[in-house]
Amino acid sequence: MSNKIRLGMIGGGADSLIGVVHRIAASMMDEYALYGGAFSVDFEDTKKLAEKLDLDQNRIYPSFEEFVEGELKLPPDQRIQAVTVATPNFLHYDMSKRLIENGFHVICEKPITITATEAEELAQLVDKHEVHFCLTHTYTGYPMVREMRSLIRSGSIGKVQKVDAQYYQGWINPFIHDKEKRKQVWRLDPAKSGQSCCFGDIGVHAFNLIEYTTGLEVDKVLADLEYLYEDNPLDIDGTALLRLNNGSKGIVRASQIATAEENNIRIAVYGDKGGLKWEQENPNYLYHLAEGQPLRVIKPGYDFLSEFAQDSVKLPPGHPEGLFDAMGNIYNGMAKAIRDKSYTSGAFPNVQDGVRGMRFIEAVLESHKSEQAWVSL
């Protein structure tokens, strides 16, 4: 028998970008072996992908329900141990809930659920059933984001006094101006996407990076959202002012109509002694600013980095690492938890990060609907 963690996947079919990212990331550290799952609502597509991946057809299932039932019939030392949930948002809660209740560890795409209440229920179930839950805020896996976190915690930039996080994309722009085309975008369908499109999809990533790197929590938000058309039910752009629990201020800017932008997520944190800046499209550069000193550029692969950042690097200096590597670091952190090994705080986003994200999304929506009142998380 293999000593690798037996992994299953729900969703993430052949045409799914995120499915490919998860499968490659899970294989990176030789900690997991993909055993099976239910990859698509079309069972023929699931079987074709399973054949391509050289999986045992007996571990391939037509539906999520049959996946759970089939795996539970197997002896504990044979059944799948951890399950990746890579489905649209509206399925996350029900699937995660059933998996947790049946003793599976869960690796779930974000947002964790459709509502904060659902997220809080999952958090209670994770504690009750003593399983591990990983929410794939992928950007927390980048070595330079982890170095940023370590430097801030070490006091390198002093007391945090300003944070600025931005996530700009332009992918929805070609669809949003055509009434028929935008009806075909599932992220604009509340039944599938949930309460929010822009802030539920990408704004929550920027929020998560702020809390992840600084160690602070956002207390209140003041938000203004953009929908463009009266018949468009979900936000596609917006800005949220922040008040953090150390008294400092900040901002999250998110857009899916920033024409021609690709995947421009960036964060800047300024303390009373210096600042740190990072952007995902150039992820191997962390910029350290200090008053009266030259700009310092920090890159991965060197011994002077924090232990956390060094543990997250797979290649020597000068060899770029990217999105797959970042997700791989998150899977590696989850593997340590599953194996009851020690791991660094922040090695993977957990269920409480999911709860915080949903509270943020709902606070942003409430603030906008109440004509820009400050709303507590």
Residue 216 counted as domain residue: yes
Residue 179 counted as domain residue: yes
- The mean of the pLDDT values for the chain is 96
Residue 328 counted as domain residue: no
Residue 299 counted as domain residue: yes
**Is residue 19 over pLDDT 60?**
yes
Structure tokens at 29: 């550290």
Torsion angle in degrees (nearest 10) through CA of 314, 317, 318, 319? -10
List C-alpha distances in Å: 95 to 110, 240, 295.
13, 31, 47
Q: Are residues 177 and 274 in the same domain?
A: yes
**Is residue 132 over pLDDT 70?**
yes
Domain that holds residue 78: 5-138
Query: Among 95, 113, 138, where does a domain finish?
Result: 138
> Considering its fold, how many domains does the chain have in total?
2
Closest of 151, 114, 170, 113 to residue 270, by C-alpha: 151
Q: Are residues 154 and 130 in the same domain?
A: no
Q: Are residues 307 and 224 in the same domain?
A: yes
3-state secondary structure of 8: strand
Residue 112 counted as domain residue: yes
**CA 202-63-5 angle, 5° bins:** 70
Alpha-carbon gap, residue 224 to 118, rounded angstroms:
25
Q: Are residues 169 and 310 in the same domain?
A: yes
Q: Are residues 152 and 270 in the same domain?
A: yes
In tens, the pLDDT along 336-359 reads: 999 999 999 999 999 999 999 999
**CA 288-291-294 angle, 5° bins:** 55
In percent, the amount of the chain with pLDDT more than 70 equals: 100
Residue 29 counted as domain residue: yes
Residue 50 counted as domain residue: yes
Q: Are residues 71 and 152 in the same domain?
A: no
Residue 213 counted as domain residue: yes
Contacts of 174 (CB under 8 A, 6+ apart): 181
Q: Token pair 């309460």 is at which residue?
A: 195
Closest of 219, 248, 244, 245 to residue 161, by C-alpha: 248
Tell me the whole-structure pTM to 2 decimals.
0.95
Q: Are residues 131 and 150 in the same domain?
A: no
Q: Are residues 123 and 227 in the same domain?
A: no
In CATH, what number is assigned to the domain containing residue 10? 3.40.50.720
Alpha-carbon gap, residue 124 to 121, rounded angstroms:
5
In tens, the pLDDT along 237-280 reads: 999 999 999 999 999 999 999 999 999 999 999 999 999 999 99
List C-alpha distances in Å: 304 to 299, 301, 310.
10, 9, 9
pLDDT, residue 15, reads 87
Q: Are residues 159 and 297 in the same domain?
A: yes
Query: Among 138, 164, 188, where does a domain finish?
Result: 138
> Quick one: pLDDT band at residue 126, thresholds 50, 70, 90?
very high
pLDDT, residue 371, reads 87
Alpha-carbon gap, residue 350 to 368, rounded angstroms:
28
> Quick one: pLDDT band at residue 2, thresholds 50, 70, 90?
confident
Alpha-carbon gap, residue 208 to 216, rounded angstroms:
11
Ordered strands of the 32-38 beta sheet? 32-38, 5-11, 82-86, 105-108, 133-135
Give the pairing type, strands 264-271 and 160-168: antiparallel
Give the pairing type, strands 218-226 and 105-108: unpaired
Q: Are residues 216 and 111 in the same domain?
A: no
Q: Are 110 and 136 contacting, i.e. CB atoms less than 8 angstroms apart?
A: yes
- Per residue, what are the HEC states of 55-118? CCHHHECCCHHHHHHHHHCCCCCCCCCEEEEECCHHHHHHHHHHHHHCCCEEEECCCCCCCHHH
Alpha-carbon gap, residue 198 to 236, rounded angstroms:
5
Average pLDDT over residues 92-113: 97
Q: Are 80 and 35 contacting, i.e. CB atoms less than 8 angstroms apart?
A: yes
Q: Are 104 and 81 contacting, i.e. CB atoms less than 8 angstroms apart?
A: yes
Q: Are residues 126 and 175 in the same domain?
A: no
pLDDT, residue 1, reads 52
**Is residue 372 over pLDDT 90?**
no
In tens, the pLDDT along 26-53 reads: 999 999 999 999 999 999 999 999 999 9
**Is residue 169 over pLDDT 80?**
yes
The shares of helix, strand and coil residues in the chain, as percent rounded to the nearest 5, are 40, 20, 40
Q: Are residues 170 and 306 in the same domain?
A: yes
In CATH, what number is assigned to the domain containing residue 183? 3.30.360.10
Query: Among 92, 113, 138, where does a domain finish?
Result: 138
